[in-house]
Structure 1
């Protein structure tokens, strides 16, 4: 977490505020499970034009597993990936990734 903006006081406060408001992992909750979040991730990556310090709804609270999966699938174009932000399905059998074609492909 050494790269800007993650080493700033502003980010550290924003991260704590997000974890306080959404203490569970976003993706795991979509799967019907509560897993405590330990990471805060940008909904729209800074490299893709996202704001470094967005409002709280521009951030996601994630567990370590989901954060690593999302980072490897979306934020690392140098690696072969599916481009799918989150793997798995909700309790109704629908894909949880908001970018899935089932949801209209937008997220």
Structure 2
């Protein structure tokens, strides 16, 4: 996490504000689990043209596992991406990823995956 914008005081303040506002992992909550978040992730990655310092609703609080899963699935252009941000299903058996086609399609994954 040494590259810009993550090595700035602005990012550190924004990250702490997001974790204070949403201390639980977004994806784990969708699975019905209560897990403390440690990472803050851009809903639209900076590499994809996302704002490096968005408002809090442009960020997701995630546990390390979910952050790594999301980054590997959609934010790594050097790897074969699955396109699904989060694996798993809710208690009703529905996919937890708000960007999954099951949830209606049409809107981009960035628009559907908020906190």
TM-score of the superposed pair, with normalisation by structure 1: 0.96
Residue number in structure 2 paired with 1:10:
10
Residue 79 of structure 1 is matched in structure 2 by: 79
Distance between the aligned counterparts of 1:17 and 1:92, measured in 2?
32
2:12 aligned counterpart, secondary structure:
helix
Counterpart-to-counterpart distance in 2, 1:14 and 1:35:
20
Give the distance between the partners of 1:68 and 1:28, measured in 2 at CA. 13
**Structure 1: distance between partners of 2:33 and 2:10:** 30
Q: Which residue of 2 aligns with 1:70?
A: 70
* Residue in structure 2 matched with residue 96 of structure 1 by the alignment: 96
For the aligned residue pairs, the C-alpha RMSD in angstroms reads 0.9
How far 1:13 sits from its partner (Å)?
0.2
Rounded Cα–Cα distance in structure 2 between residues aligned with 1:80 and 1:47: 16
Task: Please give the TM-score of this superposition, normalised by the length of structure 2.
Answer: 0.89
| Greater mean deviation of Cα atoms: 3-12 or 95-104 | 95-104
| CA drift at 1:56 | 0.2
Post-superposition offset of 1:66: 0.3
Matching residue of 1:30: 30
Structure 1 residue 65, shift from structure 2 partner:
0.3
Unaligned 5+ runs, structure 2: 110-115
Aligned residues: 107
Q: Give the superposition deviation at 1:7.
A: 0.4
